[in-house]
Amino acid sequence: MGVDLLNVRGLKELAHQGPVVMVNLMRFRERSLDGDGSGWDAYLRYSALTVPMIKARGGTLLWTGDAKAVALGAQQGNQWDYLALVYYPDVSAFIDMMTSADYENRCDPHRHNGCAEHVIICTNEAYSKFGIGASPSPRV
């Protein structure tokens, strides 16, 4: 896990060039790998550093929440602790942040120390009550 797993080529090949929402799925370690508190504590340190970087690139944190239970689908492998929805004006803003030296050196160590697993799924809006992107028609 780490910035080395970032799918830059795949993201750059996306046909969609507008706003995106990154769906973050996180499973925390019981103890932070650096010994400084829990995995959650390390994630809070990560967030404190990362949110200003997101905002500096025109993005924003839309929503976060605790994962409670798998409601539909396989239970195994789908046990998450926390979810976050993060808006970026385009994929290049996300790539710029994730590949910056500042992110790699200051933020990613906390993410790595706190998260046993962190999956980020790039989405573009098909329908939203938030009205973030330009949706010609809902696909529901």
pLDDT band at 1 (very low <50, low <70, confident <90, very high): very low
- Percentage of the chain beyond pLDDT 70 is 89
| Both tokens assigned to 6 | 């970032």
Q: What is the pLDDT of residues 14-23, one digit of tens each?
A: 877 889 999 9
pLDDT at 4 over 70: no
Query: How much is the pTM?
Result: 0.86
The closest of 82, 42, 58 to 132, measured between CA atoms, is 58
The per-residue pLDDT for 132 is 64
pLDDT band at 129 (very low <50, low <70, confident <90, very high): confident
Q: What is the pLDDT of residues 83-118, one digit of tens each?
A: 999 999 999 999 999 999 999 999 999 999 999 999
The closest of 3, 1, 24 to 104, measured between CA atoms, is 3
Higher pLDDT, 82 or 10: 82
45-51: long-range pairs with CB below 8 Å, 24+: 45/110, 45/114, 46/107, 46/108, 46/110, 46/111, 46/114, 49/106, 49/107, 49/110, 50/97, 50/103, 50/107, 50/111
CB 111, CB 53: distance < 8 Å? no
pLDDT at 136 over 50: no
